[in-house]
Structure 1
Amino acid sequence: MTEYGPRPVERSLPTEEARDLMTLVRELVEREIKPTAAEEEAAGRFPRETFTLLSESGLLSLPYSDEFGGGDQPYEVYLQVLEELAAARLTIGLGVSVHTLACHALAGYGTKEQRAEHLPAMLGGGLLGAYCLSEPSSGSDAAALTTRATREEGGTSRSSRAESGGIWTINGTKAWTTHGGVADFYTVLARTGGAGPRGITAFLVPGDIEGLSAAQPERKMGMKGSPTAQLHFDDVRVPDSRRLGDEGQGFAIALDALDSGRLGIAACAIGVAQAALDEALSYTTQRRQFGRPIADFQGLRFMLADMATQVEAGRALYLSAARLRDAGRPFTKEAAMAKLFCTDAAMRVTTDAVQLLGGYGYTQDFPAERYMREAKVLQIVEGTNQIQRVVIARHLAGPESR
């Protein structure tokens, strides 16, 4: 007899090593994350111990080179790991994505000496990172940021670190920082020159540095276990050896990081959508009305079919963009498309899951309402979906006339 209902996702994994990795991830999820996810989220507990376990298991370093302790996995594999983690608990899946984003500037633009000094601990030493770009008055218009880094007289030259003693003083406020106040390090974008994108520089700032403080976490409708907070920089002094890339290169570094980060958000969105679909399938194949399972009714069957189609289409889209990235080809447009489609799909699928569960879907006794609340934020973070449409349109039709 055929069994109906949820079943494990068939993964597109290119190597035996990747298949073994996915087995490890699924075992860890079933043992360490799923059993307490609902309770931990309801209580708003930050899962620091879980992130430490992920670091020890090599799951915070997957897309980075093994030269400095990375997992040396292609994005095609890394994103599917993210999807599994997010399906179990978005706080953890999104947290891994944010940590990966925070490591991007150092891994891609740091000097060999900087990478050797900092990356091993960031990738496998139990540290957790955060990314500081947005500000209270600059969200979608990120190039308008006002947090300023000022170099003391006698500091190093624009691109050389051969001289010693160069110090930058950072002042300003960052907003919407995931892991704000609990991260061990922050990749910070600050203004070092004039107005516009060319006046921005990236810095690697320790989480315990003097002058850095976090506000109370935002009170959010979802992801209550993941702290999101403003960060205040009050004469925070960092040596020039923690500047990443050249002066004025920071905005380009940020955009490069966001391309990859948007793929992470897309994978997390499909994870949440898959979890909602699984819950809807489980409920509708067991719930009986009028003498038969409600999954027998055509109206509900069509909803399930549409939900599954959106999940599969989103997964195919983010994997296609990941393969472009892995091949070293441009993928900015495709990353924006994946982020846009997958997060919109997650919102539709989770909303339909609540509807399929009826009154139970609106209660906290079932996870559908949590999935719906969590899906909403994915349409906002790392560039709203309106911004994704701007990015896509510029690649199709060129910049807007002004």
Structure 2
Amino acid sequence: MDLTRTLPARLRPGGRHGLAGTETRDPIGYAVAALGKLAQSDLLDRVGLRKQTEHAVFTATRTGFRAATSANRAFARVGSRQQPGVRVPSAAPKGAFDITPGEDEQMLVDVVSEYAAEVVRPAAAEADEACAAPEPLLKASLEIGLPILGVPEALGGISEERSAVAGTLVAEALAHGDMGLAIAALAPGAVATALGLWGTEAQQQTYLPAFTGDEVPAAALALAEPTVLFDAFKPATTARRTDDGFVLDGVKSAVVRGAEAELFIVGARLDDQPVLFLVESSTAGLSVESDPGMGVRAASMTRLRLEGVTVPADAVLGATDGTTYAECVRLSRLAWCALAVGTAQAVLDYVTPYVKERKAFGEPVAHRQSVAFMVADIAIELQAMRLLTYKAAGRAAAGKDFAREVSLARRLCADKGMRIGLDGVQLLGGHGFVKEHPVERWYRDLRAVAVLEGAVLV
């Protein structure tokens, strides 16, 4: 079904994104319009990321910290508490399953891929070392429209239908530059997308204007917990009812940019059911401490402690029967699969020319069957990862049950993604062990797919 609409006024000349002229596009075209032609703009020069010497401005250090959460913004309560919020419709069915991106989807991938190659990849090594993303890089991600990809157009975003496929393509393209920086850039959009999917009218009108404006707040999903054999569907964080709302207690881990986040979506157990809660950073009882790990260090992972945190009755996001929470976990796992595919593709793209150029005993190492077969296995497993991920994304966008598909995709991406990272290091030999080459960082990042939950969703 071909839907064409005129671009909304906010995307026309003089708007925030500075688009040239009024165009007609199908739904995925709105995303392309919002991102714009990065290659034709002077964005890279204006944010000062053309030269590698300007990549070293970061906002955090590698030393541990424990601090009160950011409280720079006051979210004024507006709208009706009980009235359902605006929802984007499911994508129209396309008939036979086809993983080939459409013309507009390919344009979207091309724009984000250029941003990943020109901005993200050059900053990745220093960001990993500093455990923080450069502020100019994050501002550039806002300018190209990443936070509003999943927000309904009626609320200031660019979504006319479920954007799970577009979100998957964007996450994959960004991760090809660097997984840690991709997570840091996508985290605010994950919260905005969740509000668009499950928020009430009051919640959407209270919080989404901040994400569609010029000063987008840092925000994060907080689902994971630092427990052995953590089950995402059985959080240890608890929520108990009070006369005025709820009290939350627990510890969440892998919270992206938690020290600067102004809004959290926290998963907790309420009446033996997992439920999502909106928690503002200014709420008493919240504290954050740094929690750098083996991989995805540029995402500035932190732990969020909730000690008697009181939230109002309207802080519940979505249903309280566990269905909203389950969908959130599955959409998050889908995003992690996309990140794994993008990073694994980066490994393949790096090792293929390397083994052809690296010589041992007078000939390229690619001439040895053991090396050639290993590279071929990477390509085969990568394509299987991509196929399962795209299929799950397609079902999610169409509003169909995708629990089975995303479970298969996550299992494959976790196992084979880690193997691809290991093989990438092995193919480089001694070079795979040193930080001069990025493969060791990609290996560390790919291990995160199997152990982290939340952080991003599509």
Bin the TM-score by the shorter chain: 0.7 to 0.9
Q: How does 1:208-357 map to 2 (within 5 A)?
A: 208-215=282-289, 217-246=290-319, 248-249=320-321, 251-357=322-428
* CA positional deviation for 1:203: 1.9
Is 1:147 aligned with 2:220?
A: no
* CA positional deviation for 1:265: 0.5
Unaligned runs of 5+ residues in structure 1 are 1-10, 156-166, 384-402
Tell me, in whole angstroms, the C-alpha distance in 2 between the residues paired with 1:96 and 1:149: 33
Is 1:177 aligned with 2:248?
A: no
Map Cα deviations across residues 199-249 of structure 1 (whole Å, 9 max, x no partner): x4432112233331112x224112222222221223433333333235x33
Q: TM-score, normalised by structure 1?
A: 0.80
Map Cα deviations across residues 307-354 of structure 1 (whole Å, 9 max, x no partner): 111111111111111111122211011011111112222111111111
Match of 1:37 among 106, 124, 130: 124
Match of 1:12 among 82, 100, 107: 100
Tell me, in whole angstroms, the C-alpha distance in 2 between the residues paired with 1:127 and 1:294: 49
Structure 1 residues 369, 145: CA separation in 2 closer, same or farther (over 3 Å shift)? same
Query: In structure 1, what residue type is equivalent to 2:109?
Result: M
Q: Is the 8 A contact 2:329 2:453 kept in 1?
A: yes
Q: Is the 8 A contact 2:235 2:268 kept in 1?
A: no
Q: Which moved more, 1:206-215 or 1:69-78?
A: 69-78
Q: Give the number of the structure whose residues are more often helix, by fraction.
A: 1
Q: TM-score, normalised by structure 2?
A: 0.71
The percentage of counterpart residues that share the same residue type is 30
Q: What does residue 62 of structure 1 align with?
A: 149
* CA positional deviation for 1:379: 1.3
* CA positional deviation for 1:142: 4.0
Query: In structure 1, what residue type is equivalent to 2:224?
Result: S
Tell me, in whole angstroms, the C-alpha distance in 1 between the residues paired with 2:363 and 2:439: 23
Q: How does 1:362-381 map to 2 (within 5 A)?
A: 362-381=433-452
Q: 3-state SS of the aligned residue for 2:138?
A: helix
Q: 3-state SS of the aligned residue for 2:109?
A: helix
Tell me, in whole angstroms, the C-alpha distance in 2 between the residues paired with 1:288 and 1:221: 31
Aligned residues: 352
Q: Which moved more, 1:279-288 or 1:183-192?
A: 183-192
Tell me, in whole angstroms, the C-alpha distance in 1 between the residues paired with 2:329 and 2:251: 20
Tell me, in whole angstroms, the C-alpha distance in 2 between the residues paired with 1:307 and 1:252: 36
Map Cα deviations across residues 26-69 of structure 1 (whole Å, 9 max, x no partner): 22222211112112212322344423321221112223322223
Tell me, in whole angstroms, the C-alpha distance in 2 between the residues paired with 1:141 and 1:290: 50
Q: Is the 8 A contact 2:146 2:186 kept in 1?
A: no
Match of 2:180 among 68, 91, 94: 91
Q: What does residue 127 of structure 1 align with?
A: 217
Q: 3-state SS of the aligned residue for 1:19?
A: helix
Tell me, in whole angstroms, the C-alpha distance in 1 between the residues paired with 2:280 and 2:135: 18
Structure 1 residues 380, 131: CA separation in 2 closer, same or farther (over 3 Å shift)? same
Q: Is the 8 A contact 1:147 1:174 kept in 2?
A: no
